[in-house]
Structure 1
């Protein structure tokens, strides 16, 4: 004992004091925060870890070798606890043990300086041998062994394969209405069925690795101009008609390019006027009317035998001659339709069509977006049909007044604030139906004043009669939506073989992770849909639906637990654990609250506007499920003018104050559920690719997808699985493509098993859906847009890239 006391009182090197002091400080922080976590019902580990660090820090301060033995015991206990919580799953293990392992390694590195070797003749030799350091070294090596084992397996992967015969009979039964030439792309999803499927077969799993860039074109249109909202995005999927490509840019220019060389042929600037109250500034695509044939009901125009239709940010729908880029003056008024006609609460930029309009033989069918959660006095979500030749209004369907579809009389206004359809619609002209993915009525997080009509049509798929606009059927994907779970994806139309019968189906992806498979004639589910009990207890003046629909094909994320909390280090993971217990969370459909609620999945969605790709021959889907939790807090309003949730200050210029919900009882503060370091509080993977057999309703395979190269401070391409924004493409050659992952790559996959086959680095974020076409030389091309996305923070750009197989 005297010898020990003598050593404690001896002068202590600065390094020992520093290291011991750091451990003492870390210990006190962990003890305090861990005690807080334990007091709210969380794990006791962090409080005990804090106590251990404090004791070990004191021993290190005194240069006592007991520190090493105690630390070995602590690390071994931490390893056992971590394996008990998450198993052999690398990233959750790393978040728990990265800091303790580094501290242990530093202790071993400092041992020779802090504790010189004891001479053989010293009687303390046996007691103060190197056994404590050996014990620490062994437990640190044990973690390395566990880590190596975890690197060889992916506990989140689902291995499997879709056989080539899935969904027989073969090609003759694909989309009967597909009259688009195989080498062309005439609509956002190639056809009005929205399948994002190319029948070209040159690119195969065997040769896709030979893809190389054929040409690159830069539009010159970059985000960051005066008046741009944060969500200024290059989301377009170009059209390919004849030997030309047609696309639109974020700032609304329309371009025609030579499909073989990428040379610009013409450019049209609609000259959007004025200061606009924009939430989004984008153009997802153009629409195309082919020259009518002799049997068509719509007469040909001598001025514009064919037309391109471009929706603008100041709410015009312009018709252009695809040959020249000139405005079709005989259409509408001077070549355009004014979408503000009959619209209440006029505010330039607050309403326009961000998605391409639906083109049928006789009609154009147009929806639009309104400001999300700015006020209760927004524009109408009316859907309107116009004569494709003249631009005259034929019918209007307003979800706030759904029974009257005859054209609005002069001087009348549509219903303010009614649910809108901002995404891409689909159509089946043989059945005479247009299918609309419907949004919600603002505000999204409080619905105490919604009408019966709004309750019926919000967050639904609605089938309207193409000729009259009358409702033929409606299927609601969320009841009394309080989560911004509007239907974001284009419905996909496909023929499926179910129980030996061919069925005309509609596949609807949703933000909450469902793939609802419906009979598109009636809206009846083809694969089972069940109603499950949902959490109750909405905010004052509101209510929650007792049940919510869940499909047999569901990518619903598992219910979060404290064990699922993550972070870059044990410290921010501890923060996430405390936050988990501090917020309200009862699983999916936890209502927003003044306390703050965890919404999982968040309004980013498992699926968003990119939808899915479907092979109509085999009835299989290539999907890109993402999982990111958000938080939603209701902030009581005392008046209808004060800004409550503009954390970055008052918006500049005419840009709107989003989420203020003027006119409602609450503003809403919504943000990703992340740690103070900005990393998600839920463990990866956050983004995957998955293959689904739509005929049987089964998920065949699923794999994490994408790296954190462009998301982390250190640009290391670690494959953790990151979200995608932008849809996939499938081809008849058995290859799928995706460019929307948050790490600036375009990738190719084998659709049978999801195995990645090829990738190429993009110069900017690829948040758009790629397409494929055949050029003048008969080569199959892959076309990718790389322009970035303002909301996700991916790198901006103005790139159009075409890839082709290298010649042998």
Structure 2
């Protein structure tokens, strides 16, 4: 009897615990549901919360009716979830998994409730139901790890072998070519052997981008010429590495400093037409190292060499002990002591403190014949430039005999910030050849004495493209500062803002321009390098097109000779705002002839969360904001911008399979809550760079940007949050689309989940397409380099990286060994505290 009494007592306590759990959750849902109803939202959460509270009370009182009521509420929840979200997995998982767990526990409790009520307590039916629920829950949880396409491929994409003699020789530009195609005509590494890839070597740059709030990020795509690999770090150090083993040949340090936004996405490269790359001593098999290598070898090992404390978890998977060579470091180059010899092959380094430096690609010394001992000061003609207000972050464009630079301008601090001028310099002398000042087209070189280029004008911070045949440089422009109030902007500011501007490469004169956002109030500046492609016209000829991706999730296809749309663009009426002092464009361009990616107008049922609780909070936040689609104008009230100013598509740009006219696009889907703040309420010292309060001095308002996240730090709209899409350029349709990235190395509130759930995370970085039908990409929140099958988007290989990467993969074949390498720079994923200084090469194993 004592044992039986003890079991009953334990059972009662378990019923009370179940009831308390259900009651607490139900109360939270009922309170939040009532709030949501008051905002005009769904009635479901209020009703479900009340049903759970009543069920909880009955279960605590040991009444079987409590189980029956919850069972009914759960069945109705399943019906509601399908009605509200359709048959999409992630929305259903969010709505039902937690309630399913409670249903499982209630099914287990039901026999005890019946027995205590004096009824037959047989357990078979109840436990069978619990078993079915357990199977469903396990299946649902297991499916979170299964990669599933969003859009499945409907037909195969053929692979065309590389014709003998047409193999790629070098990777000389950030996008491989000035057309920005990121395509390599190489097929040694292919679908049949990519799973055999292994680490060939690892180099360390010695420059770890610190995640201390300063904005330092490793976003570099290396260049390769002959047997040398050229890398730049977030702080502007340049290294030449041997292409076969990663050993350092020379290093150049510009000693650049900036308070924020430190990065170097790429270098420019120019060689005199008759010049041939000088092989390194290692490539020549010379027993005596070159002078630069000898000096490097005499130095101690890099201070940033790997230690147990610096080695992130999992790095051993990518770093066999024999693979990582000790990397000697040369002393910082002395720019003022540049060698007098002419540089036959030169690199162009854009610095974070607004200089353009020419470096001898063979020796690592500054080119004395360029500018002032190798340096051009880009602040000349700009007026006052405060530290961090103007700098170079993207690659310079080498277009024939000129090197063209734009510049990043610090958004949203004030009107009258540094000019958005674009300038071209002679690649040999550094002499200014032309300038394009968006605010004063009459100024074509330096401004008149005592004047500056027009301040606060639209700038070009992203990478540019160049068509040698047409002699045109294509500039993707931003908007005039500040971003979210345009009442002070001039007619020329509005004319060239957020546009593709085609200028003559010899003179800088505008040939044509096409605007993608009129009177931009959203920071929808064009973030990516235009793709130049010759599109088959179906009649045996081709049309020279330019394809431009945008932050608003649209893709524009233009004739790059004339600027006229090739894919249809419609000017549609858009919502109008009512902010005093502002003006609004009545219409905006919508690219309807090409796919729109991740920019749908959100509704309440699109809200998401890891559980119904945080989904409910996201619904409440959504209903408390104004959202009228992609061009919802900012105002004094709280509004939702989706996509946010981070994208959509961003600076990683696109890659292409030219043989099949397929373009590969990665995106992120992050919304922003925006609102303007009257000047009197803007606190002194407001200086949010990406998020938070920005002052916008010189206007009547400051502005606030906040990420649209749940309390757990998860995007509030349904997954995926980042995808890879294959776009058929001939039809303007998506050939396939897959989610990219898992929560293995991130999670709620920044806590790593260590589970590779295939949810699709925000992406940032460039991709690489090869002629063997492979697409390489590493710009995810988890720490992997992946290879996808370009025919269908299936992941067919991945390698664990020591830290995340925002860099673009690139590839080359060694002229010495004939081996193809895949290179990735890994310095850390965006928003990740794990940082490193890795350059990693992958190759197929040697044949035995």
Scaled by the length of structure 2, what TM-score is found?
0.85
Partner of 1:399: 438
1:706–1:471 distance in 2 versus 1, CA, 3 Å: same
**Bigger mean CA offset, 625-634 vs 335-344:** 625-634
Correspondence for 2:705 among 666, 670, 680: 670
8 Å CA contact retained: 1:555, 1:606: no
8 Å CA contact retained: 1:364, 1:387: yes
Alignment deviations for residues 598-625 of structure 1 (CA, whole Å, 9 cap, x no partner): 1111112121111000123332212213
**Bigger mean CA offset, 419-428 vs 14-23:** 14-23
1:65–1:657 distance in 2 versus 1, CA, 3 Å: closer
Partner of 2:726: 691
Correspondence for 2:391 among 336, 340, 352: 352
**Bigger mean CA offset, 20-29 vs 775-784:** 20-29
1:215–1:150 distance in 2 versus 1, CA, 3 Å: closer
8 Å CA contact retained: 1:555, 1:625: no
Partner of 1:581: 623
1:665–1:131 distance in 2 versus 1, CA, 3 Å: farther
Q: How far, CA to CA, are the matches of 1:757 and 1:401 in structure 2?
A: 52
Correspondence for 1:777 among 792, 797, 817: 817
8 Å CA contact retained: 1:244, 1:257: yes
1:548 Cα deviation after fit = 1.6
SS in structure 2 at match of 1:625: strand
1:194 Cα deviation after fit = 1.1
1:305 Cα deviation after fit = 1.4
Q: How far, CA to CA, are the matches of 1:100 and 1:16 in structure 2?
A: 17
Q: How far, CA to CA, are the matches of 2:841 and 2:660 in structure 1?
A: 27
Alignment deviations for residues 58-83 of structure 1 (CA, whole Å, 9 cap, x no partner): 11221112111111111111111111
Q: How far, CA to CA, are the matches of 2:250 and 2:511 in structure 1?
A: 42
Alignment deviations for residues 555-591 of structure 1 (CA, whole Å, 9 cap, x no partner): 2432211111000111110001111110010111111
Partner of 1:176: none
Partner of 1:6: none
1:282 aligns with 2:263: yes
Partner of 1:31: 30
Partner of 1:137: 130
1:554 aligns with 2:595: yes
8 Å CA contact retained: 1:691, 1:700: yes
Matches within 5 A, 1:622-771: 622-638=664-680, 642-644=684-686, 659-712=694-747, 713=751, 714-771=753-810
1:695–1:656 distance in 2 versus 1, CA, 3 Å: closer
1:807 Cα deviation after fit = 3.3
The answer for unaligned runs of 5 or more in structure 1 is: 1-9, 173-178, 295-300
1:146–1:238 distance in 2 versus 1, CA, 3 Å: closer
8 Å CA contact retained: 2:101, 2:137: no
Q: How far, CA to CA, are the matches of 1:148 and 1:715 in structure 2?
A: 15
8 Å CA contact retained: 2:150, 2:736: no
1:110 Cα deviation after fit = 4.7
Correspondence for 1:163 among 157, 164, 167: 157
**Bigger mean CA offset, 407-416 vs 709-718:** 407-416
1:469–1:640 distance in 2 versus 1, CA, 3 Å: farther
**Bigger mean CA offset, 202-211 vs 317-326:** 202-211
8 Å CA contact retained: 1:598, 1:632: yes
Q: How far, CA to CA, are the matches of 1:744 and 1:190 in structure 2?
A: 24
Matches within 5 A, 1:322-471: 322-471=361-510
Correspondence for 2:240 among 256, 259, 262: 256
SS in structure 1 at match of 2:668: coil
Q: How far, CA to CA, are the matches of 2:587 and 2:729 in structure 1?
A: 25
Aligned residues: 766
Q: How far, CA to CA, are the matches of 1:181 and 1:414 in structure 2?
A: 44
1:45 aligns with 2:85: no
Partner of 2:827: 787
**Bigger mean CA offset, 47-56 vs 100-109:** 100-109
Alignment deviations for residues 96-152 of structure 1 (CA, whole Å, 9 cap, x no partner): 12221222223344557x64846xxx9x435x6659946963883695499499778
Q: How far, CA to CA, are the matches of 1:132 and 1:230 in structure 2?
A: 61
Partner of 1:220: 206
1:695 Cα deviation after fit = 2.3
8 Å CA contact retained: 1:89, 1:154: no
Q: How far, CA to CA, are the matches of 2:675 and 2:345 in structure 1?
A: 50
Q: How far, CA to CA, are the matches of 2:252 and 2:138 in structure 1?
A: 62
The answer for unaligned runs of 5 or more in structure 2 is: 1-8, 276-339
Partner of 2:68: 69
8 Å CA contact retained: 2:214, 2:259: no
1:312–1:489 distance in 2 versus 1, CA, 3 Å: same
Q: How far, CA to CA, are the matches of 1:229 and 1:327 in structure 2?
A: 31
1:354–1:507 distance in 2 versus 1, CA, 3 Å: same
Scaled by the length of structure 1, what TM-score is found?
0.90
Correspondence for 1:505 among 520, 545, 550: 545
SS in structure 2 at match of 1:323: coil
